[in-house]
Amino acid sequence: MRNSVEFVVYGPYALFTDPLTRMGGEKLSYQLPTYQSIKGIIESVYWKPTIMYYIDEIRIMNPIRMESKGMRPINYGGGNTLANYTYLRDVKYEVKAHFEFNPYRPDLISDRNEHKHHNILKRSIEMGGRRDIFLGTRECQAYVEPVKFGENKGYYDEAEEMHFGTMVHGFNYPDETGKNLLEVRLWNPVMENGVIKFTRPEDCKNVRTIKKMKAKQFDESNVNFEMDLDL
């Protein structure tokens, strides 16, 4: 696919928090990474508002294991409280993704240099990313490396079709939809032979509005379009 990249992301822990557990203090991870979390990883590798990333597929390379830890998070009223966080343990995912130019950013049309962005993205993956990589939450540090998708053996390569119920797919932000709304998308992921094929955001049917929001505007007064040319 045009402007596509393939990489592996791995780390000792991951926490893709189920929203139902956020308010009670006890956090429980989904069994799988969300579309939004993988998108956040590639945006940490290299991001520009000119482009939009699309996650095509992921492979679950290691067995899905959970581990609970006693934590002392900050209490809303001050001080600390006690809680149990349930993490995914020893995770590794192969990712296939690509980028397209953001049609809702006509203010950045002068930065639509396909060759430049693709080459910077590939070099950034080789360097392990421009910013810190983490799996779901900040304490779950992770690492990124280039890989050939499907070349290595995965734990679920021979597994039958597996369903994981309804979970969060990601968020619709105003600068990616053209609407002054923040929305959340839900979907029902299915894993087959260790591979999950993601639905494109615009094809998700189960969408809920969270709040009104406006996109930040960019122009030559606050963006240096020439800065990346020599990288």
Q: Check whether 218 has a pLDDT greater than 80.
A: no
By the 8 A CB rule, do 158 and 63 touch? no
CB 142 within 8 A of CB 41: yes
Select from 95, 98, 124 the least CA-distant residue to 2: 98
Residue 52's nearest CA partner among 7, 102, 119, 114 is: 102
Question: Can you give the residue range of the structural domain that contains 109?
Answer: 4-155
206: in domain: no
- The upper half-sphere exposure of residue 215, i.e. CA atoms within 13 Å in the direction of its Cβ, equals 18
- Residue 222 domain-assigned (yes or no): no
33 occurs within a structural domain: yes
- Asked whether residue 170 is domain-assigned, the answer is no
Instruction: Give the Cβ contact number of residue 72 at 10 Å.
Output: 10
What type of residue is 195? V
| Count of helix runs (H) and strand runs (E) in the chain | 3, 12
Look at residue 68 and tell me if it is in a domain.
Answer: yes
Residue 122 lies in a domain: yes
Quick: pLDDT tens for 72-105.
Answer: 877 777 788 888 899 999 999 999 999 999 999 8
pLDDT at 222: 65
8-25 pLDDT, tens digit per residue, is 999 999 999 988 777 767
Q: Is residue 77 part of a domain?
A: yes
User: How many domains does the structure of the chain reveal?
Assistant: 1
Q: Is residue 202 part of a domain?
A: no
Q: Please answer whether residues 97 and 56 qualify as being in contact, where contact means their C-beta atoms are separated by less than 8 angstroms.
A: yes
Q: For residue 230, which amino acid is it?
A: D
Q: Over the stretch 105-153, which tens digit does the pLDDT of each residue have?
A: 888 888 899 999 999 999 999 999 999 999 999 999 999 999 999 999 9
User: Would you state the pLDDT for residue 145?
Assistant: 97
Mean pLDDT of 46-66: 95
Distance, in Å, from the CA atom of 177 to the CA atom of 102, rounded to the nearest integer, reads: 9
Q: What is the DSSP letter of 73?
A: P
- Please provide residue 52's backbone torsions phi and psi, each rounded to the nearest 5 degrees: -125, 130
Q: Which two tokens stand for residue 57?
A: 């597929």
CB count within 10 Å of CB 114 equals: 13
Write the CATH number for 98: 3.30.70.2660
Task: Please tell me what DSSP assigns to residue 31.
Answer: S
Helix (H) or strand (E) holding 210: strand 206-212
